[in-house]
Structure 1
Amino acid sequence: MTQFSPEQFAAGQKSHVDTFFNLTNKVFEGVEKLTILNLQAVKSIFAETQETAQKTLSGKDPQDLLKLQSGLTQPAAEKAQAYSRHVYEILTGTQAEFLKAAEAQFAENNHSAQTFIDTLTKNAPAGSETAVALLKSTITAANTTYDTVHKATKQAVEIAESSFDAATTAASKAAKDTATQTSRASKAA
């Protein structure tokens, strides 16, 4: 039987540490993007609230307030949708980085396992063919399972994206309809 050398073990550990820190950096990048987005949103909301308060206080009659209210509904809904879209993009971007790293790690581990099996097969004592065949079969089954799970995950992400897009479109239409109804009601009053 072959044994792993200390150099092989150290290289494997270095690879795992590199992957860990790479993924940790990706998490921090995602958190940083979310923090910047949230700060921008708060800053924008504060400025808009100040502007709305000034317009409200300068209104001369209730009709002005109704017009102001109807003019705020749709933009607020659109901004909320834009914010949600940005959050979604940040999260899916971070997830894509994790998937890419996982795929690279799996490929590296798969290559190492295959190299180990090949070395083991060459150096296996007589009569161990059954054990080697079982080991090869196990690795093939693990690879097949990984491929199946990977494809299912991709499909689930695609379905989630299309559902998010459909929900965003429906919410946008509902906001426009509400704004139109509010506008008509304020004109009629």
Structure 2
Amino acid sequence: MSTRIPQQLIDAQAASTRQLFSFSSKAFEGLENLTVLNLQVFKATLAENQALAMKAVTARPGELVALSASLVKPTAEKFAAYSRHVREILSEVQGGFSTTLQSQVQQHQRDAKVFVENLTKHAATGNDVVLTG
């Protein structure tokens, strides 16, 4: 029995484990980036609300309506910018997954080709190849 086949299985398992940790790392990196973005947004919103509260406290009743109306456009723009940042982060994570997955598929194709070549070579030389499951 050839020890080459079990070694290939061990190598494949090691590659799968590396792949799992690579995917986990990419996912964690995306989560970390989203957390940083959310903390920045929260901090900026808190500062803006403090400034707005100070303006509202010192404003006359007629100025409150104008102050309220002036907030609509910047809020929509901030939401659009936030959404754009979230899409960029998700796109980076997806790109990392795609690159890693494509690399893994190519490696599996190479491994399968080598496995078939070795299997064919052993069968052609008359060696017994036993696969146990």
Q: C-alpha root-mean-square deviation of aligned residues, in Å?
A: 2.0
Residues 3-14 of structure 1 aligned to structure 2 (within 5 Å) = 4-14=4-14
Q: Which residue does the alignment assign to 2:103?
A: 104
Deviation at 1:123, TM superposition (A): 4.3
Write out per-residue CA displacement over residues 37-85 of structure 1, whole angstroms, 9 at most, x where no aligned residue: 11111111111111111111111132x1222122211111111111111
Q: CA deviation at 1:95?
A: 0.9
Partner of 1:173: none
Letter in 1 for 2:115: F
1:83 maps to a residue whose letter is Y
CA distance in 2, matches of 1:23, 1:17: 10
Equivalent residue pairs, number? 124
State the identity as a percent.
38
Structure 1-normalised TM-score? 0.60
Hey, what's the Cα distance between the residues in 2 that align with 1:109 and 1:61? 71
What is the TM-score when the length of structure 2 is the normalising length? 0.82
Residue segments in structure 1 that go unaligned for 5+ positions in a row: 126-189
User: What are the Cα deviations for residues 138-170 of structure 1, in whole angstroms up to 9, with x where unaligned?
Assistant: xxxxxxxxxxxxxxxxxxxxxxxxxxxxxxxxx
Match of 1:38 in 2: 38
Is contact 1:23-1:98 (8 Å) kept? yes
Superposition pairs of residues 139-158 of structure 1, within 5 angstroms: none
Residue 53 (structure 2) pairs with residue 53 (structure 1):
yes
Say whether the 8 Å CA contact 1:2–1:120 is kept in structure 2.
no
Residues 1:117 and 1:8: Cα distance change in structure 2 (over 3 Å): closer
Structure 2 letter corresponding to 1:97: G
Displacement of 1:89 in angstroms is 0.8
In structure 1, C-alpha distance between the alignment counterparts of 2:121 and 2:9, rounded to whole Å: 21
Q: Report if aligned partners of 1:2, 1:119 keep a CA contact under 8 Å in 2.
A: no
Q: Which has the higher contact order (CA 8 A, sep 6+)?
A: 2
User: 1:174 is matched with which residue?
Assistant: none
What's the CA shift for 1:112? 1.0
How far apart are 1:4 and its partner, in Å?
4.0
**What are the residue-to-residue correspondences of 1:93-172 with 2, within 5 Å?**
93-124=92-123
Instruction: Show structure 2 runs of 5+ residues with no match.
Output: 125-133
